[in-house]
Amino acid sequence: MEHTSTASDGQLHAVLVLAGSSGGIGAHVRSLAAGLSAHGLEVTVCGPAETDELFGFSGTGARFHPVEITPTPGPRTDAAAVGELRRAFARASLVHAHGLRAALLSDLALRTARGGTPLVVTSHHANLATGVERRLLRLMERRVARAADLVLGASSDLVARARDLGAADARLGPVAAPPLPVPASEPGRGEIRKALLGAKDRTDRPIVLAVGRLVPQKNFHLLLDAASGWRGGEEPLLLIAGEGPEHGALRARIKAEKLRARLLGHRSDVPELLAAADLVVISSRWEARSLVAQEALRAGVPVVATAVGGLPELVGDAAVLVPPGDPTALAAAVSGLLADGGRRAELAAAGPLQAATWPDEAATVAQVLSVYDELTSSS
């Protein structure tokens, strides 16, 4: 794809900015950095040093510029971050910030030395805070929405919110899930199941898998509520892969309530876990384009999910959707699906077909390139 360059040396220089990320944002920025570099752009990624260690931005063809962007505002830390970003933006044709914190600091850095440099913001998350924190975050969201030349929402509800907050231009910018490695073969599946279930358990016991950060947004407590109400057939083993601040509380509940559930911690073998699972459950309070939903449907693993955020438009008819915050409905959906092999087979076949309708990484990079060309050509 040809691109229009406004950089003095004839090469468009895009600076991508993110705060600390261990999940979808980091994976998305890595995908963009690799794709944009492959198209001949000069790319700099700005973020905390640990993000480069985790996602390998430096190995994509991009330059990594460490900037300590802390999760919460602070006069000293913010001033230092803004100063570092200002240095990173000195030769930028365009700045593309991912998430609210990164966008706020990027706007501050551009205000003193902007010179017409366009600011693109990708909105990845909804505001799920309450009380005073919610009002403060809304003020920040409004400032970002109005400061950005363009807001890309990872789901339609985020696009609508950006427009309500006063964005001059807001569009859908889906975040594609990177392709997973080929799952384990069928004999491998049996070995994985045996290891997960343990030597004393039956190898045909159903496995229900959940993957994600152990944080309130993912609402794993709702999933444990549902696990206490599985009905019919043999009780499944619930496996939750991920790390986060709620680990201790979830572990305490599993022990106190004697639930057939286990916390796996961080796992790098998600394809193998998917191959071993009978179904995947997403109990979140909100999601844009859930990576685990994309991975599960691509792999042909049936999914039960809460009907929140961008999940309904993402999965279509290829998953079972339940009302958010309803453990009885979630338990009934899981139990019903485990008891109905025919329905699971239908969903397993529907998943890859639904996945084929999503934009892939190449299409996502092409959309972003088009946006960059549009903004730099008119700036």
Instruction: Look at residue 213 and tell me whether its pLDDT is greater than 80.
Output: yes
- pTM here is 0.85
Instruction: Look at residue 21 and tell me whether its pLDDT is greater than 70.
Output: no
Task: Single out the residue of 242, 243, 282, 238 nearest to residue 262, CA to CA.
Answer: 238
pLDDT per residue as tens digits for the range 252-292: 999 999 999 999 999 988 899 999 999 999 999 999 989 89
Q: What is the greatest pairwise CA distance in the chain?
A: 68
What is the rounded distance in angstroms from the CA atom of residue 105 to the CA atom of residue 144?
A: 10
Amino acid at 299: A
pLDDT at 1: 33
pLDDT at 109: 95
User: Using an 8 Å Cβ cutoff, are 106 and 95 in contact?
Assistant: yes
CA dihedral 100, 311, 292, 351 (to 10 degrees): -150
pLDDT at 260: 92
Q: Provide mean pLDDT across the span 212-233.
A: 90
Using the CB atoms, write b or e for 201-215: b if 16+ within 10 Å. eeeebbbbbbbbbbb
**Hey, do 13-176+359-378 and 186-355 end up sharing a CATH topology, with the first three levels equal?**
yes
Mean pLDDT in the chain? 90
Map out the domains of the chain as residue ranges: 13-176+359-378, 186-355
pLDDT per residue as tens digits for the range 126-181: 988 889 988 999 999 999 999 999 999 999 999 999 999 999 999 999 888 777 66
Which fold does the domain 186-355 belong to in CATH? Rossmann fold (3.40.50)
pLDDT per residue as tens digits for the range 38-89: 999 999 999 999 999 989 999 999 999 999 998 777 777 789 999 999 999 9
Using the CB atoms, write b or e for 291-326: b if 16+ within 10 Å. bbbbbbbbbbbbbbbbebbbbbebbeebbbbbebee
Instruction: Look at residue 114 and tell me whether its pLDDT is greater than 60.
Output: no
Which fold does the domain 13-176+359-378 belong to in CATH? Rossmann fold (3.40.50)
CA distances 65 to 62, 92, 95, 271, Å, are 10, 13, 13, 31
User: Using an 8 Å Cβ cutoff, are 141 and 129 in contact?
Assistant: no
